[in-house]
Amino acid sequence: MLTKIEIRRHRHWLAGAILLISLGSLTGCDRDKPVAVTKAAPGPIPETPQRPGDPQAGYDVLVNRAVVTCGLPYDAYVAATEAETFDPASDYVLAGRRGRNAELPYALTAFTAESGVELVTSNCLGCHAAPLNGELVIGLGNEFLDFTADPVMAVEGAGAYVDTDAEAAEWQRWADRIGAIAPWSMTDTIGANPAQAITLALMAHRDPETLAWSDEPLLPPPSVEVLPASVPPWWNLGKKHAMFYNAEGRGDHVGYMMLASTTCTDSVAEAREIDAWFKDVRAYLATLEAPVYPYPVDAELAAEGERLFNRECSDCHGRYGERERYPNELVALDEVGTDPAMAEQAYRHTERFARWFNTSFYGRNAEAQPGLGYVAPPLDGVWATAPYLHNGAVPTLAALLDTRERPTYWRFESASPAYDQAALGWRHERLGQGREQFASLDEQKWVYDTSRRGYGNQGHDYGDLLDDQERRALLEYLKTL
């Protein structure tokens, strides 16, 4: 479906900055009636029916519709792009892109605002599509995104190319929103995704009932300590009863998915229109399938691994193949032992945002229920989704199965590393110390430092009880999922 071509150069920073206006995750405040937030208990997550939709139409929304309804004037985008002397970047062409969109990098979408000004904005695929063996795979989380630069600089830089008064007004609206959320849209490590913090910061600026924007926050904003998240693959959504690592997203998935585009959705009427498209998006996501492992597999060893998996792992992760089942287990933090910061933050410190969500348009068919644990995810296509755990702290599956193999400090071997068929993950390098060993920020940002809060690589030690041969067999089996 997808073919790779070279597209004319585009500014990475610009794409990055525009990307920030869209996001991905959680969930403020009915000032009159404080609504209690239900906290989810560990255990099986109940199923709730999802609204039907048209997958084909959903794909069209993803590649052609602007769901973030503010952006950079197109003419300024072109001028800024041409003025920059970047190396020509390769991009990927998506089937079915129409009009101007057919010329833009896949993570950007063009549309005409009510003012008549044509704008360029980001779409979901900036985070939720990534190259794999020369093809762009929709639904694979991009684990190489760089959110370390201050987006305000990029926005101001592009502002220099804005021409007419109408363009200036559109640019200003976009710039104001980016400015308001900038502190929550930065992390200092490549791959660490700030989508959750950005979403909460946006909620703080919006009335949950009318969705009207307020330049002054209406709720205390979240902490500017932005915790890292890895981007989960979309192809698991069809199996999952709740969205997000902590299973907070209960009920209709569409309400949460739309939150990912609320930078400029300023009225219920506008949200309603986007909601109508998004049931189709959800239907499309549910049709996605995991990519197949493209290298050789030792079938005998994998069969031994399957027996082990069904004994040691399937209570939490389910079974695959003919007798497929997926238990949808929220596993308590004490049990899984992985870095608790993300789940604890939603459970203990940011309840006001779950309340905002539950009283808002977005929560009318859905309910944010933070839980003190993490979901044991489906492992379909897990070979392709390195680095592992909710925070992306563990670079390979081999290291996930043996805690002694997990590096405290590591970095990808390059900006587009080769696949490591022995360890199952992107080739990386262990480092003896943290980021301080490098002089420049450009080098420092590549260092994943698991000693920092939220970045921990501890826990999930279920593989430690096995011997080397058993771990080899399990790895072989994981290739086949």
Site residues (CB under 6 A) for ligand HEC? 19, 22-25, 67, 124, 126-128, 193, 195-196, 229, 231-232, 236-237, 240, 243-245, 257, 260-261, 281, 285, 312-313, 315-317, 331, 335-336, 338, 374, 376-377, 379, 382, 385, 388-390, 397, 400, 460, 462-463, 474
Nearest CA among 205, 151, 214, 206 for reference residue 183? 151
Q: Which is nearer to ligand HEC, 163 or 324 (CB)?
A: 324
Q: How far is the CB of 438 from ligand HEC (least distance, A)?
A: 26
Q: How far is the CB of 388 from ligand HEC (least distance, A)?
A: 4
72 half-sphere exposure, CB direction, 13 A CA radius: 32
* CA 388 from centre of chain: 13
Token pair belonging to 376: 């044991």
Burial degree of 258 (CB within 10 A; 0-12, 13-18, 19+): buried
The span from the CA of 214 to the CA of 216, in Å, is 5
The span from the CA of 429 to the CA of 442, in Å, is 17
Q: How far is the CB of 195 from ligand HEC (least distance, A)?
A: 4
Q: How far is the CB of 242 from ligand HEC (least distance, A)?
A: 7
Burial degree of 8 (CB within 10 A; 0-12, 13-18, 19+): exposed
Q: How far is the CB of 107 from ligand HEC (least distance, A)?
A: 8
Token pair belonging to 5: 């071509």
Q: Which is nearer to ligand HEC, 409 or 462 (CB)?
A: 462
The span from the CA of 281 to the CA of 284, in Å, is 5
Q: How far is the CB of 468 from ligand HEC (least distance, A)?
A: 14
The span from the CA of 329 to the CA of 45, in Å, is 6
Q: Which is nearer to ligand HEC, 218 or 288 (CB)?
A: 288
Tokens 């197109």 -> residue = 74
Nearest CA among 164, 79, 81, 178 for reference residue 116? 164
Q: How far is the CB of 236 from ligand HEC (least distance, A)?
A: 5
Q: Which is nearer to ligand HEC, 117 or 401 (CB)?
A: 401
Q: Which is nearer to ligand HEC, 25 or 81 (CB)?
A: 25
The span from the CA of 387 to the CA of 395, in Å, is 4
Residue nearest to ligand HEC (CB): 24
Q: How far is the CB of 414 from ligand HEC (least distance, A)?
A: 22
> For residue 286, which amino acid is it?
A
| Phi, psi angle pair for 66, to nearest 5° | -85, 115
The span from the CA of 337 to the CA of 332, in Å, is 8
Give the Cβ contact number of residue 308 at 10 Å: 17
Q: How far is the CB of 444 from ligand HEC (least distance, A)?
A: 21
Q: Which is nearer to ligand HEC, 22 or 189 (CB)?
A: 22
The span from the CA of 9 to the CA of 198, in Å, is 28
> For residue 86, which amino acid is it?
F
Q: How much is the CA Rg of the chain, to the nearest whole Å?
A: 22
Q: How far is the CB of 163 from ligand HEC (least distance, A)?
A: 28
Q: Which is nearer to ligand HEC, 158 or 474 (CB)?
A: 474
The span from the CA of 253 to the CA of 215, in Å, is 29
Q: Which is nearer to ligand HEC, 161 or 205 (CB)?
A: 205
Q: Which is nearer to ligand HEC, 161 or 361 (CB)?
A: 361
Q: Which is nearer to ligand HEC, 25 or 444 (CB)?
A: 25
